[in-house]
């Protein structure tokens, strides 16, 4: 089997990075040679098989042309040295840099679109370079339909793996904790969750809110929780590579994002049986997995009142939470790492 080269900026923690780690480890178990090529950093937050090659070809450029040129030169050298490798770019800029670095070389080129394509700031640039790819892997059908026809025609849909093996679903009385998992950035709209929680704890005073993840908005969100008078009930937990074990007994999981591809933390929380509330993000990542009030609760994007109502429903109706939990656990057998790894390989084999 040809070497698979995952191209990603860095791996400091996050959903895309976690998927890359899952797939890389799975292929390594199958004795398929794997490289993770980092083009804007050196950090690896997730455990990797020691046989996986990790190559860093640069640091964040900060817009500096020389840094980007050096990065392209090192990437080109790597691709030339590994003539038969497959390039799997798991970021837009990874696709852009790989397309340029591999000019004149023959490599199978796969791009995995990881977010809502409609929210990218420079779609014309992205679409130009995506045309160099042999295949575009999207997470939802709506994501594929967001592209121009030329790109849509070579798109396939493969969702994220759901990984909860080794974690027993919890059946006891749940902790009075509301949890959210994700980068602390504008996309995740934690401010919406903070405002809804501030209203929620006026009635349910013994609950706390735990935010897992790190990001550029951490200090701003801490200031927001202070302004709302809830700083004593909001805990910033930082990054954890065992986050599912830590949230397993929580009363509810909340995804408050304005947009998503498919949230790994959401699907894994559902599969664990943590009662889950999620915004109905535009390209359909949530609605692919949630049947409203069956295995989770859906709320409109940006709707503070609807989010408050959903949180209150779960708090006052433990039986609803139990039913949602039991239904959600059925996801445990769907989209395993092995199944998703097979689908990527099948796509690569078919389109080479």
Residue spans per domain, the chain? 4-161+335-351, 175-333
Please say if the pLDDT value at position 352 is more than 70. Answer: no
pLDDT tens-digit series, residues 65-115? 999 999 999 999 999 999 999 999 999 999 999 999 999 999 999 999 999
pLDDT one-digit tens code per residue, 263-294 = 999 999 999 999 999 999 988 889 999 999 99
DSSP alpha helix (H) spans, 119-170: 123-130, 141-145, 149-152
Regarding predicted confidence, which is higher, 241 or 297? Answer: 297
Compute the distance between CA of residue 248 and CA of residue 235 in angstroms, rounded to an integer. Answer: 17
Domain 4-161+335-351 sits in CATH at 3.40.50.2000
Q: Tokens representing 96?
A: 């852009």
Whether the pLDDT of residue 63 is over 90: the answer is no
Place of tokens 């006026």: 202
How does pLDDT run across 163-202, given as a tens digit for each residue? 888 899 999 999 999 999 999 999 999 999 999 999 999 9
Please, what sign has the CA dihedral across residues 130, 131, 132, 138?
A: positive
Domain 4-161+335-351 identical in fold to domain 175-333: yes
Task: Specify the residue for token string 């209150």.
Answer: 312
Nearest alpha-carbon partner for 81 in 46, 35, 123: 35
What's the pLDDT tens digit per position in 10-29? 998 888 999 999 999 999 99
Predicted local confidence at residue 285, as pLDDT: 87
Please name the residue that has the structure tokens 């013994």: 206
The CATH number of 175-333, from 3.40.50.2000, 3.30.70.120, 3.90.650.10, 3.40.50.300, is 3.40.50.2000
Report H helices in the chain: 15-29, 65-81, 92-101, 123-130, 141-145, 149-152, 190-200, 218-227, 243-247, 264-272, 304-316, 318-328, 337-351
272 and 164 in contact (C-beta within 8 Å)? yes
């Amino acid at each position: 089997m040809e070497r698979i080269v995952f191209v990603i900026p860095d791996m400091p923690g996050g959903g895309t990075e976690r998927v890359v780690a899952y797939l890389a480890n799975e292929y390594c178990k199958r004795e398929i040679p794997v490289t993770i090529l980092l083009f804007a950093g050196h950090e690896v937050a997730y455990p990797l098989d020691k046989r996986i090659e990790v190559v860093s070809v640069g640091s964040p450029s900060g817009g500096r042309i020389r840094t980007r040129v050096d990065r392209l030169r090192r990437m080109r050298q790597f691709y030339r040295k590994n003539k038969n490798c497959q390039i799997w770019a798991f970021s837009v800029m990874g696709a852009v840099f790989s397309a340029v670095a591999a000019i004149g070389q023959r490599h199978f080129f796969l791009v995995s679109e990881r977010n809502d394509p409609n929210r990218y700031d420079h779609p014309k640039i992205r679409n130009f370079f995506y045309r160099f790819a042999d295949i575009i892997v999207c997470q939802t059908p709506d994501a594929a339909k967001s592209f121009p026809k030329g790109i849509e025609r070579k798109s396939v849909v493969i969702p994220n793996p759901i990984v909860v093996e080794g974690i027993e679903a919890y059946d006891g009385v749940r902790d009075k904790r509301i949890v959210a998992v994700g980068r602390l950035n504008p996309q995740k709209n934690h401010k919406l969750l903070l405002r809804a929680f501030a209203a929620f704890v006026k009635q349910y005073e013994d609950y706390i809110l735990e935010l897992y993840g790190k990001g550029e908005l951490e200090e701003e969100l801490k200031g927001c929780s202070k302004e709302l008078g809830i700083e004593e009930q909001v805990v910033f937990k930082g990054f954890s590579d065992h986050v599912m074990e830590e949230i397993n007994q929580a009363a509810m999981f909340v995804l408050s994002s304005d947009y998503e591809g498919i949230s790994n933390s959401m699907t894994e929380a559902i599969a664990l049986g943590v009662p889950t509330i999620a915004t109905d993000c535009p390209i359909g990542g949530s609605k692919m997995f949630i049947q409203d009030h069956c295995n989770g609760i859906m709320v409109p994007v940006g709707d503070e009142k609807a989010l408050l109502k959903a949180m209150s429903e779960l708090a006052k109706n433990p039986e609803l939470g139990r039913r949602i939990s039991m239904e959600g656990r059925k996801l445990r057998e769907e989209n395993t790492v092995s199944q998703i790894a097979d689908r990527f390989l099948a796509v690569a084999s078919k389109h080479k």
